[in-house]
């Protein structure tokens, strides 16, 4: 039977204790399998994330990884565990997605997924409440025109990771990319302090995108209220109208359950970012290339 979840305590322990299975295997022994090197653990993120559900419910049984565990925790705990292992060149496997600042900070690679369970590239969509186009047509127009590239969002994410406040990082990027931003504000009239509520989850990419959109909305006269919640309440808030919009809907996989649950109660403005990816990620120094290799 697949051992699907290890508790949050274990996730935190991994952050500081993964080295116990590390350098000795990496440098001293060449006979241990990858599973033995990492104690048959894959470091995951938030338990409610679609990436976790996909990994646990489909990837693990699909590749017959019966002896493996997916460690439940958070994006921050995953990043901390990855940094600790990477700094010592120790083995580690994490659930990963891009864009993410870790790919700029470390030399990493996705494990090949020959069964295609993780699917192709995901999009990040903009979702707004019903009636926004009538109540705030210019905010609606700006949100509908919001679109950028992975390299753009990664720049903002890297600034934040390096210690810049998210609001300041967004302002810096906007000031340096007027050509991109002008396409979002084309045909948008100046507002008079109307409030727009943006809901977001505490994921690095969503923090970056939400702060950038907030900055641009404020530049055309809106008062923007950023409200951080978990993924479920984020979708529920837009569906019931207590929030105006979210710009971090990962589809068709990560937020599929929420999309299905609330479909018909929101308006999907389509992708604001394309070319994202999900999968299992390892440091490039690990001698492993495919999820199938985990069975050895």
Instruction: Give the HSE-up count for residue 229: Cα atoms under 13 Å, Cβ half-sphere.
Output: 18
**Whole-angstrom Cα distance, residue 165 to residue 159?**
8
**Whole-angstrom Cα distance, residue 18 to residue 43?**
10
- Mean pLDDT, residues 229-239: 96
pLDDT value at residue 267: 99
175-182 LR contacts (CB < 8 Å, sep 24+):
177/152, 180/148, 180/152, 181/216
**Closest by CA position to 91, among listed 43, 150, 139:** 43
**Whole-angstrom Cα distance, residue 226 to residue 170?**
13
Q: What is the pLDDT of residues 99-117, one digit of tens each?
A: 888 888 899 999 999 999 9
- Pairwise pLDDT comparison (97 vs 188), residue with the higher score: 188
- Pairwise pLDDT comparison (263 vs 30), residue with the higher score: 263
pLDDT value at residue 39: 97
> How far is residue 119 CA from its own chain's centroid?
16
pTM: 0.77
Extents of the domains making up the chain: 3-120+278-295, 122-276
Average pLDDT for the chain: 90
**Whole-angstrom Cα distance, residue 288 to residue 153?**
29
Q: Is the pLDDT of residue 20 over 70?
A: no
pLDDT value at residue 94: 98
Please tell me the CATH code under which domain 122-276 is placed. 3.10.105.10
Q: What is the pLDDT of residues 37-92, one digit of tens each?
A: 999 999 999 887 888 999 999 999 999 999 999 999 988 899 999 999 999 999 99
Q: Is the pLDDT of residue 10 over 70?
A: no
Q: What is the dihedral of CA 254, 255, 261, 266, to 10 degrees?
A: -150
Please tell me the CATH code under which domain 3-120+278-295 is placed. 3.40.190.100
- Mean pLDDT, residues 275-296: 94
94-103, 125-134, 168-177: range with lowest mean pLDDT: 94-103
**Closest by CA position to 32, among listed 21, 17, 20, 45:** 21
**27 pLDDT band (50/70/90 cuts)?**
very low
- Mean pLDDT, residues 273-277: 91
Query: Which residue's entry shows tokens 């959109």?
Result: 213
Q: Is the pLDDT of residue 8 over 60?
A: no
- Mean pLDDT, residues 242-263: 94
**Residues forming beta bridges with residue 282, ordered by sequence position:** 109
- Pairwise pLDDT comparison (253 vs 149), residue with the higher score: 149
Q: Read off the tokens for 264.
A: 């018909």
**Residues forming beta bridges with residue 264, ordered by sequence position:** none
**18 pLDDT band (50/70/90 cuts)?**
low
Q: Is the pLDDT of residue 25 over 90?
A: no
């Amino acid at each position: 039977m697949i051992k699907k979840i290890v508790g949050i305590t274990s996730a935190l322990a991994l952050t500081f204790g993964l080295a116990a299975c590390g350098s000795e295997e990496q440098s001293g022994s060449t006979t241990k399998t990858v599973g033995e090197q990492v104690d048959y653990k894959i470091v995951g993120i938030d338990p409610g994330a679609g990436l976790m559900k996909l990994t646990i419910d489909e990837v693990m049984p699909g590749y017959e990884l019966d002896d493996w565990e997916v460690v439940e925790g958070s994006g921050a705990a995953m990043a901390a565990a990855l940094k600790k292992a990477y700094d010592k060149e120790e083995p580690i496997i994490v659930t990963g997605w891009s864009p993410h600042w870790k790919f700029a900070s470390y030399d990493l690679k996705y494990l090949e997924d020959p069964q295609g369970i993780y699917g192709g590239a995901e999009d990040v969509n903009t979702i707004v409440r019903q009636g926004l186009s009538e109540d705030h047509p210019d905010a609606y127009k700006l949100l509908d025109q919001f679109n950028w590239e992975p390299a753009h969002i990664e720049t903002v994410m890297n600034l934040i990771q390096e210690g810049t406040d998210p609001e300041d990082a967004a302002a810096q990027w906007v000031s340096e990319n007027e050509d991109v931003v002008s396409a979002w504000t084309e045909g948008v009239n100046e507002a008079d302090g109307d409030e727009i509520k943006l809901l977001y989850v505490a994921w690095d990419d969503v923090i970056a995108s939400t702060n950038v959109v907030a900055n641009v909305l404020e530049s055309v006269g809106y008062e923007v209220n950023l409200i951080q919640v978990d993924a479920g309440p984020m979708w529920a808030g837009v569906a019931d109208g207590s929030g105006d919009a979210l710009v971090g809907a990962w589809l068709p996989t990560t937020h599929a359950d929420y999309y299905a649950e609330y479909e018909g109660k929101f308006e999907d403005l389509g992708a604001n970012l394309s070319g994202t990816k999900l999968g299992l990620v390892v440091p490039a120094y690990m001698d492993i290339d495919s999820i199938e290799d985990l069975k050895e």
